[in-house]
Copies of this chain bind each other. A is one copy, B any other.
Amino acid sequence: MPSFPFQEDHDMIREAVKGWLSDWEDGGKTLHRVAKEGQGFDRTAWEGFARDQGMAGISIAEQYGGAGMGLLGRTVIMEETGYTLFSAPFFSTCVLGADMIEAFASEDDKADLLSKIASGDIIISVLDGRNQLTLKNGALSGVVSPATDAAHADLILVAAYDEDNNVALTGYSPNTAGLSVTPFASIDPTRSQAKVFFENVALSDGQAIGKTDNTAFSQILQIAHGALAAECVGGGQRCLDMTLDYANQRVQFGRQIGSFQSVKHKCADMFIALESARSASYFAASPDLDDDPVAKFEASLIAKNYAAEAYFKIAGDAIQMHGGIGFTWEYPLHYFFKRARGNRALFTSSEDGFQMLADQIGLAQNTTDISGE
């Protein structure tokens, strides 16, 4: 029986992906290589995964050449790529990019772009430029940072306010005049980050994908970001697994350290946080919510922020439980800790996320803007 809420085919995909990614990661060796190369991106592996394994299209509708396995399908992938820190643009391209196109593009553009995503032939980076970019005389200026996976994207999807304060979504080639992408080193070396500079980039130089109002755009963006919860769950599971392996093997004071109550209880707390985050993640991907965008938005908000907090706590505890080896570079645990820290801040901070949730559940708000910037 497949584990709730998944179906048999999800479980099969998980088994296949798990093995492939485990080979890729090679017990941390590949993470060291990726960190050394400094790109946060393993192109060969991505092509193997996306094209040869056919994983890029897991949640793309069947009519566009995907497997049509819905949010639960990509939850499986994100969990397993999180477990191995697979350094590839699945989230940027197949979640963020695909969701934007699915929601806002014309049927023709969908047919074109979604099938390119499904076949692994395109890498997309999505930039939310609503607060960073200004539109003047039909051209965009400003800087968007951090811009995940922009450094090797074939298509950069940019959201910015138009003259009517709607959100316009435009697709640019990275070679567009006035647009430049500068990669930067991130604390998390397994994810590709960049700054994207816009100097009078004409809207007409890009491909107009669609328009929508601000609220609808925020909802779709949040639902896509909800998939990060699964990445957090996968990473958290990895941290717990590494900790259990270590605790059962390491002997101090004449006992496995895993027999000490302080270690056992910390592992129990990690497990509680992990399974809670898993419930939050699965809830947001639950097909029950498919017809209720507001409920799905709220569930995604909960999932992303709850799971990101849990992952950071689990990863920090994992380092602590490992003692000295936990904070060495050689032992790959720190990559997970860094990813956890990055995920807490990616898109919205947990603080802003929970404040948004407070609005959502009907708590009266202050009228003043209290966030920084």
Chain A residues engaging chain B, CB cutoff 8 angstroms = 260-262, 265, 366-368, 370
A370 to B364, CA, bound (A): 12
Q: A262 is contacted by which of B265, B366, B368 (Cβ under 8 Å)?
A: B265
| Chain B residue nearest to A367 in the complex (CB) | B368
Measured between beta carbons, the chain B residues less than 8 angstroms from A367 are: 368
Q: A262-B265, A366-B370, A368-B368 are in contact. List 7 more A-B contacts (CB 8 A).
A: A260-B261, A261-B261, A261-B262, A261-B265, A262-B262, A366-B368, A367-B368
Interface CB pairs A-B, < 8 A, 10: A260-B261, A261-B261, A261-B262, A261-B265, A262-B262, A262-B265, A366-B368, A366-B370, A367-B368, A368-B368
A236 to B26, CA, bound (A): 52
Measured between beta carbons, the chain B residues less than 8 angstroms from A260 are: 261
A320 to B168, CA, bound (A): 55
| Chain B residue nearest to A369 in the complex (CB) | B366
Q: Give chain B nearest CB distance to A247 CB in angstroms.
A: 14
Measured between beta carbons, the chain B residues less than 8 angstroms from A265 are: 261-262
Measured between beta carbons, the chain B residues less than 8 angstroms from A261 are: 260-262, 265
Q: Give chain B nearest CB distance to A365 CB in angstroms.
A: 11
A265 to B269, CA, bound (A): 15
A323 to B347, CA, bound (A): 43
A367 to B366, CA, bound (A): 12
| Chain B residue nearest to A370 in the complex (CB) | B366
A106 to B14, CA, bound (A): 82
Q: Give chain B nearest CB distance to A172 CB in angstroms.
A: 38
| Chain B residue nearest to A261 in the complex (CB) | B261
A364 to B260, CA, bound (A): 46
Q: Give chain B nearest CB distance to A203 CB in angstroms.
A: 37
Q: Give chain B nearest CB distance to A259 CB in angstroms.
A: 10
